[in-house]
Structure 1
Amino acid sequence: MPVRINDVMALLCHISDQQKMKVAIKHSGKGALIAGASAFLGGLMGGPPGIAIGGAVGGLFGAWMTSGQFKPLPQIIMEMPVVQQQKLCDDVYSIIRSIDWADATQLILLVTGNAALQQKVAAALINYVSQELKAEIQYGD
């Protein structure tokens, strides 16, 4: 049976929605840029002590700016480029290969009806998000 990527993506969206997964893509570059710029400005204005103070203030401001930017994982999954979706689909398909399904609804029912299988699929999704997207996952509202 050919892999139907849309069915697998629907399954992943369902599981991530059911577990209320949210994702924050790390924006460390933006925070580092802010910290560096404020250290530079502090150095221009206050010399060596200004560098320390500017770096500290900029670091705190950069951390504050980049925190709390969580999006629902189903939204992230559907916005991923096709190449990334295909890689994720391949990872998950290796787990659900033995299942025969007719459509996305049946696939979702078959996987969510088997706790061990659902856990394996969720683990593959979490691993992909953590390793490939370099993202942090948060659970709940």
Structure 2
Amino acid sequence: MPVKVQDVMKLLCSISEKRKMKAAVKHTLMGVLVTGAATFVGGLAFGPPGLAAGGAVGGLLGAWMARGQFKPVPQILMELPPAEQQKLFNEVAAIVRNLDWMDAVKLTTLVMGSQALQQQLVAMLVNFIINGLGAEIRYDD
């Protein structure tokens, strides 16, 4: 039976939607650039005290810019490039390879009926989001 990438993406969307998962790509590089630029300008303008003030202001500005950047995981999954979706698909296929299903609806029904499968898929998805995408996970209740 040919397994479709889109079926697996729909399954992961259902699981992450049920768990109310959101993720934010860490804006580490942007924060470093803003903090570094503010520190540099502060140091040039005011010497050693300016370094401290510029670092503090830059750090606050970098944190402010990154706040509120969480998006629902299903949205992130559907926006992944095909190569990333294929990586995710390969990991999911290894977990659900022994299930008998023909479409996304049947696959989702089988997985949602098994707490153990859901836990395996959530753990795999969290690992993929954190390590593969460099994102932070949040659960909204």
TM-score, normalising length: structure 2: 0.96
For the residue of structure 2 that corresponds to 1:23, the secondary structure is strand
Taking only aligned residues, the RMSD between alpha carbons, in angstroms, comes to 1.0
1:21-36 aligned within 5 A = 21-36=21-36
CA offset at residue 122 of structure 1?
Answer: 1.1
1:86-129: per-residue Cα shift (whole Å, max 9, x none)? 00010011000001111111110000001111111111111111
Matched to 1:29, the amino acid is L
Residue in 2 aligned with 1:70? 70
User: Which deviates further from its counterpart, 6-15 or 55-64?
Assistant: 55-64
* d(CA) in 2 for partners of 1:2, 1:131: 28
* d(CA) in 2 for partners of 1:63, 1:13: 29
Residue in 2 aligned with 1:50? 50
Gaps of 5+ in 1: none
For the residue of structure 2 that corresponds to 1:2, the secondary structure is coil
Identity score, percent: 57
Matched to 2:28, the amino acid is S
1:41-79: per-residue Cα shift (whole Å, max 9, x none)? 111211111111111111111112112210000000000
TM-score, normalising length: structure 1: 0.96
Residue in 2 aligned with 1:137? 137
Deviating 4+ runs (over 4 angstroms): none
